Amino acid sequence: MADNPLIFLKLGGSLITDKFKPETVQKDILSDCLAQVRHWMQENPTSGLVLGHGSGSFGHNAAKTFHTREGVSTEQEWLGYAEVWYSARKLNNYVVDACAEAGIPVVDFPISAGMVTDNRKIYSYNLDPIRDTLEQGLVPIVHGDVCIDRSLGATILSTEEIFAILATSLKPSRILLAGIEQGVYADYPQNENLISFMPAEADLYTFLYGSKARDVTGGMETKVKVMQQIAQTFPGMEILIFSGLEDNSIYKALSGEVLGTCID
């Protein structure tokens, strides 16, 4: 593990929302996850954290209706873009409020307010505010969101894709993705053969599928691909995909325990 104490943690949409019920927050689960984050922060006051969350049953349903991920050009599609933004924002507001109640000093950095991409690749983004926020001991928070795109008009980036962009400059030592699955399975959806360790260059895509619920950014397959690309770019960076439903798993992962599937 690298000496850099910065960690990226994502609370997946499948974990903190009911992905089969539109715009439904799993309030008790979210509160428990954030209590674990707060516990870890109290024990590790010099470590840095970037907190991310998925959109779950919020942004994904609207995005599926308007195909926002594929691009935006017509008047109706731009109205859809605004609707997707609003839906994702509602969940983000709830998460930010829950962080405040848990005593986590977060500062929100929605990419819709400042990031521009070109065919979903970074075109422009000022990372200085996030970097300075971290230096002051605060917790930047990001989430899957819409953004302006030079080639597509606009699009949607997943939290994993945002993490990939931030990692280039911030270089975290670990990236932790907490969802409802134990990790990556070689036999999904039977889920009997958990892959404990996945080399960054492993070609396991034939075993991977998307998501049982609506997930416009590709579900587990895209998650693994993006994380493998990050691991290849930054050798030694540890990436975990694990279940946030297991007892105290968020705290354990933040504390260095290897859970679920490790990509390294």
Residue 135 has pLDDT above 70, yes or no: yes
| Calpha distance 89→4 (Å, rounded) | 31
Instruction: Name the residue type at position 229.
Output: Q
Instruction: Name the residue type at position 45.
Output: P
Give the percent of the chain with pLDDT over 70: 92
Residue 31 has pLDDT above 50, yes or no: yes
Beta carbons of 166 and 131 less than 8 angstroms apart: no
Confidence of residue 150 (pLDDT cuts 50, 70, 90): very high
165-196 pLDDT tens trace: 999 999 999 999 999 999 998 877 788 889 99
- The β-bridge partners of 140 are 107
Residue 217 has pLDDT above 80, yes or no: no
pLDDT for 215: 45
pTM of the model: 0.91
Specify the range with the lowest mean pLDDT, choosing from 73-87, 95-109, 198-212: 198-212
Q: Please, what are the domains in the chain?
A: 7-263 (3.40.1160.10)
Smallest Cα–Cα separation from 238: which of 165, 177, 183, 158? Answer: 177
- The β-bridge partners of 174 are 7, 238
Higher confidence at residue 264 or residue 61? Answer: 264
> Within the chain, where are the H helices?
13-16, 27-43, 59-66, 75-102, 128-135, 159-170, 219-233, 249-254
Higher confidence at residue 217 or residue 65? Answer: 65
Residue whose entry in the numeric block shows the structure tokens 């819709």? 112
User: Under DSSP, is residue 32 helix (H, G, I), strand (E, B) or coil?
Assistant: helix
Confidence of residue 258 (pLDDT cuts 50, 70, 90): very high
CA distances from 32 to 11, 16, 64, 141 (A): 11, 10, 30, 18
User: Under DSSP, is residue 127 helix (H, G, I), strand (E, B) or coil?
Assistant: coil
Name residues whose C-beta falls within 8 Å of residue 125's C-beta, 6 or more positions apart in sequence.
Answer: 111, 114, 115, 116, 165
